Structure 1
Amino acid sequence: MTSRIPVIFDTDPGVDDIIALLFALSSPELEVLAIVVSYGNTDIESAYANVLKTYQAVQRHLDVYPQHTNRFPNFFNSLKTIICRGSDGPLEGPLHSAIYSMEANCDISRDGLGGISESCPDLDVTSNPKQLDYSKESGIEVAINLLEKHEARSITYIAIGPLTNLARMMRQNSKLLSTKLGRIICMGGALDVPGNTTAVAEFNFFADPYAVRELLVPGEPCEFPFPSDRFLLLPLDITTPHQLPFPTYKDRVDTSFESSEPSGTPIAHFTSAFLTQTRNIMLQFGNDAMELHDIVAVWCAIAFPPFSDDSSMKETSVPGWKAVRRIFDIERQRFMIICFSTGELTRGMLVVDRREDESAYAPGANRAEVQASLDKTQFSGNLESIALPAQVELETAPLAKKKADSGIWCITETPGPDTLLKILFERVWGVSERMET
């Protein structure tokens, strides 16, 4: 196989983060260099403990099934994976955790994993897993050190929590990131779909909209901005359709799922412990499935290794995957994606300008064609405003047409939810069409 992709795993370990971590540990295409633990789904210490619980569960599984060692290639790296603490709060403003963003009757417990310390105390960490390298340096320093030591553009940074750590790294050494970091894979935001934290905002962007703004739409010119061709965004638009149906999980992984007694393999016991409460929450929303947001990000990192040269995403073709640019300009009147807002109702919202989106108009009402027709006939009757918005005076001259290479690359297609489920079941739980151990 080709060389493994070195990755830095920036996470705020809650439920889907832990499944994503297990997916990364079981993916031979990746080499997990470091796990940077951040605030988000819960407080940073609980999040840190969740990573240790994950490693302990894998070790217990391999103690029982030593023949499964090859299933977790990232569990026995030649150089131990570094674990470190990242940011414990946003760049600015109040701290928001996912446990407080739901209604009281949907509380997922302070530990971020459905309260497994209370429901399954046997999963508490008894000693620090020996497969990890415990660093006292901040996650920002650890990531910078790794970038300095590795070949330029060889590392992928998987960001499945708030973007605070990356924003602080850019503040500290933007030249290093822009020249040496190969790719950023970011799960966050909601473009054309509702949010999952508020009506309009996805949680990671809601948690620190200031960091998102600095990274994606900086108000001030940056001498070394991160190249947009090396940033891939996975918003809720693409991640939400990828789901793990709980009946399927019960049928293929743990037939006694939701039982109070430990059952199945150690890995299945661990995941069932926190998926039980997750299922209770999702059922209140009428969905008997878990959304695989962060898991899709890991899958994307496998599919899109970093460029070693100045190649463009436009020139990149990965079977089953598609990415398109979303153009934005926050500083002037015309834009496509703007305003990572901090308002009471719109904090973390991505505002999409529909004025140049044909889908925002009635079928057949192509805006350019309507305008051409109006110009030709010089029509200015009462119904003109129905066809397109009236012109307004601007404080500055209209912007020139945006460059074709501007904007953020957003994933719009994957090989599909069924394909992801097949890979996930095989790698994390070691099952295919029928249960196997």
Structure 2
Amino acid sequence: MMVKTPIIIDTDPGVDDIVALLFALASPEIEIIAIIVSYGNTDLESCYRNIFKAYQAVSREVETHPQAAERFPNMFSDVKTILARGSDGPLEGDLHGAQYFHGRDGLSGIHERHPELDVSDMSHPQITVSEEHGVDLALRLVEASKDRSITYVVLGPLTNLARMMHKNRDLVTSKLGRVVSMGGALDVPGNTNPVAEFNYFADPYAVKELLCPHDPSTGFPLDRFFMVPLDITTPHELPFPAYKAQVDNAFESAAKPSVASDKSPLRHFTSSFLERTRMVMLEFGKDAMELHDIVAVWFALANTGPLSPGWGVSKRVFDIERTGELTRGMLVVDRRSDESAYALGANRAEVQAQLEKATTEHHPHEDFAVQVQVETAADVDKTDAAGVLSVNQTPGPEVLLQMLLERIWGVGKKIEGK
């Protein structure tokens, strides 16, 4: 019998978060013991409501197609998922959202364009609603757990985890297992401003406290924190032509809204929020959705002990900009401390040209050669170098895409040309 890893999902449900949640519900490797809803992609209450939209869409799918129940083990687990509201704003500073991408409701305005998919009854048989604050709930679950058995997956800002540390640092640092955080941009441009990824932009103060405090002993133990930055998530995509070919042949964009009678309930649900996402992404010149949060969930379910084949991490040292007028949320990497960094005063164009000629692999956005890969968690723990464990290799975008198609929508034929 498979031993499932208990996880707490800390999320601000926007478009990719909901796909990540559906992926988690369809993954037998994990047990979702709690979901803590945070502000982020939109306001807290809209994010909270989106959890029920996802659960009810899966329930309608199973009611219509009973065989689909096999695809969603976490919808029929003996362990009900506890749902609680978490933080509604950052530790400090202004509140920022990402409604420009996710829509005011977090799901591309789905309640306006598809009112049949809105929820009036915020309940579900697999969810236990808690009025406890998400921070207190998480602390209680960690305290009651076997030491370091729970994996804490953060798909939004790190605010709730920082507040858990404020309330009971000893408990969190001694008993919480791995933290997997989708966030940050190290060697690539940001997606919120030129240099920052949204989740770390939303609360840079929490990132500072947890990952790069002035006194390292006050932060979260870095040997159990895994950052999944834009550097590795961006190449993982759900191409919309592939979605149309394999999932929903009637899928277009918001200009031609999904019709419920044309497809199964789950396909109608996902198409109804992806149709606007497609329009937004096309404005950026890409006919695909980037799978940022989905990669973080994938890492969590695939790596419960030593790193599985195909995965790699490296230790990265950085600080974070909290108050910059143009650079809030930027991970500031001191290139001078890296042996392979450009020498001070070097001509960057000439160095880049030499790197391109070299046999060593080199990413076009990096200022240095490939980072040292860590094969197992045990190897990570034995190293003395400071730094945050940053995921820099996965089994590949194609592997994740096939997993999503099979697990969420029950299709798995190889995509032509992919």
- Report the TM-score range of the alignment, normalised by the length of the smaller protein: 0.7 to 0.9
> Structure 1 residue 318 and structure 2 residue 313: aligned?
no
2:57 and 2:307 mapped to 1: Cα distance?
37
- Partner of 1:174, secondary structure, is helix
Amino acid at match of 1:172: K
Unmatched segments (≥5 aa) in structure 2: 355-382
Residue of structure 1 in register with 2:248 after alignment: 254
Residue of structure 1 in register with 2:366 after alignment: none
> Structure 1 residue 426 and structure 2 residue 406: aligned?
yes
1:35 and 1:122 mapped to 2: Cα distance?
24
Amino acid at match of 2:321: F
Residue of structure 1 in register with 2:280 after alignment: 281
Higher mean alpha-carbon deviation, 119-128 vs 132-141, is at 119-128
Q: CA RMSD in A?
A: 1.8
- Partner of 2:73, secondary structure, is coil
Amino acid at match of 1:318: S
Higher mean alpha-carbon deviation, 404-413 vs 283-292, is at 404-413
Residue of structure 2 in register with 1:29 after alignment: 29
Shift of 1:3: 0.6
Residue of structure 1 in register with 2:181 after alignment: 186
Normalised by the length of structure 1, the TM-score is 0.82
1:363 and 1:340 mapped to 2: Cα distance?
28
Residue of structure 1 in register with 2:388 after alignment: 408
> Are the aligned partners of 1:325 and 1:407 in contact in 2 as well (CA < 8 Å)?
yes
> Are the aligned partners of 2:40 and 2:202 in contact in 1 as well (CA < 8 Å)?
yes
- Partner of 2:92, secondary structure, is coil
> Structure 1 residue 177 and structure 2 residue 158: aligned?
no
- Partner of 1:74, secondary structure, is helix
> Are the aligned partners of 2:42 and 2:102 in contact in 1 as well (CA < 8 Å)?
no
2:69 and 2:320 mapped to 1: Cα distance?
47
Higher mean alpha-carbon deviation, 14-23 vs 340-349, is at 340-349
Identity across matched positions, percent: 57
Residue of structure 2 in register with 1:132 after alignment: 127
2:177 and 2:126 mapped to 1: Cα distance?
26
1:18 and 1:200 mapped to 2: Cα distance?
25
> Structure 1 residue 58 and structure 2 residue 58: aligned?
yes
Residue of structure 1 in register with 2:333 after alignment: 352
Shift of 1:76: 1.6
> Are the aligned partners of 2:37 and 2:85 in contact in 1 as well (CA < 8 Å)?
yes
Unmatched segments (≥5 aa) in structure 1: 308-315, 328-336, 367-402
Normalised by the length of structure 2, the TM-score is 0.86
Residue of structure 1 in register with 2:107 after alignment: 113
> Are the aligned partners of 2:200 and 2:207 in contact in 1 as well (CA < 8 Å)?
yes
Residue of structure 2 in register with 1:92 after alignment: 92
- Partner of 2:177, secondary structure, is strand
> Are the aligned partners of 2:40 and 2:199 in contact in 1 as well (CA < 8 Å)?
yes
- CA gap of 1:77–1:317, structure 2 versus 1, over 3 A, is closer
Of structures 1 and 2, the larger Rg is shown by 1
- Partner of 2:282, secondary structure, is helix
Shift of 1:355: 2.1
Shift of 1:338: 1.7
Residue of structure 2 in register with 1:341 after alignment: 322
- Partner of 2:59, secondary structure, is helix
1:216 and 1:321 mapped to 2: Cα distance?
22
> Are the aligned partners of 2:183 and 2:228 in contact in 1 as well (CA < 8 Å)?
yes
- Partner of 2:179, secondary structure, is strand
2:96 and 2:212 mapped to 1: Cα distance?
22
1:315-336 Cα deviation digits (max 9, x unpaired): x342000101113xxxxxxxxx
Higher mean alpha-carbon deviation, 124-133 vs 188-197, is at 124-133
Amino acid at match of 1:111: D
* TM alignment of 1:215-230, pairs within 5 A: 215-220=210-215, 222=217, 225-230=219-224
- Partner of 1:182, secondary structure, is coil
2:263 and 2:33 mapped to 1: Cα distance?
30
Shift of 1:352: 1.3
Shift of 1:67: 1.6
> Are the aligned partners of 1:25 and 1:74 in contact in 2 as well (CA < 8 Å)?
yes
2:353 and 2:250 mapped to 1: Cα distance?
55
- Partner of 2:9, secondary structure, is strand
Amino acid at match of 1:350: L
2:112 and 2:10 mapped to 1: Cα distance?
27
Residue of structure 2 in register with 1:123 after alignment: 117
1:363 and 1:206 mapped to 2: Cα distance?
31
> Are the aligned partners of 1:9 and 1:158 in contact in 2 as well (CA < 8 Å)?
yes
Shift of 1:353: 1.6
